[in-house]
Amino acid sequence: MKKGVSESKMSSDLGHNKNYIQHITSGKSNPSAQELLYIIDYLNVSPSTFFDEGEKHPILAQKIIDSIKDMPESDLLLLISFINRMKDGKV
């Protein structure tokens, strides 16, 4: 849902019948390990993000992680400082 794709569209995109993802989300079936990796890749999140049930916004979190991977250390330190200020309500 967070990706904005229907279960039938995702099923089709992954090369399965239109009910494939619906059967997984309803608990009627489980994907193979390989299919699970395809699903995670389709959602464009890391496996750890996919399985983190405490993650409120996994797709947004992954976008942030992808965006900062190549940043210089000095920019990362500034970003951390800014995030901490936001959490403290000082921004």
pLDDT tens, position by position, 37-84: 999 999 888 888 788 777 777 778 878 888 999 999 999 999 999 999
pTM exceeds cut of 0.75 = no
CA gap 80, 1 in Å, rounded: 30
**Assigned token pair, 46:** 């890391």
Cα(first)–Cα(last) distance of the chain, in Å? 31
Q: How many CB atoms lie within 10 A of CB 25?
A: 12
- pLDDT score of 89: 80
* pLDDT over 70 percentage in the chain: 97
Kindly indicate the confidence band of residue 91, based on its pLDDT and cuts at 50, 70 and 90: low
- pLDDT score of 13: 94
CA gap 10, 84 in Å, rounded: 37
- DSSP per position, 46-72: -HHHHH-TT-S-HHHHHHHHHHHTT--
- pLDDT score of 43: 87
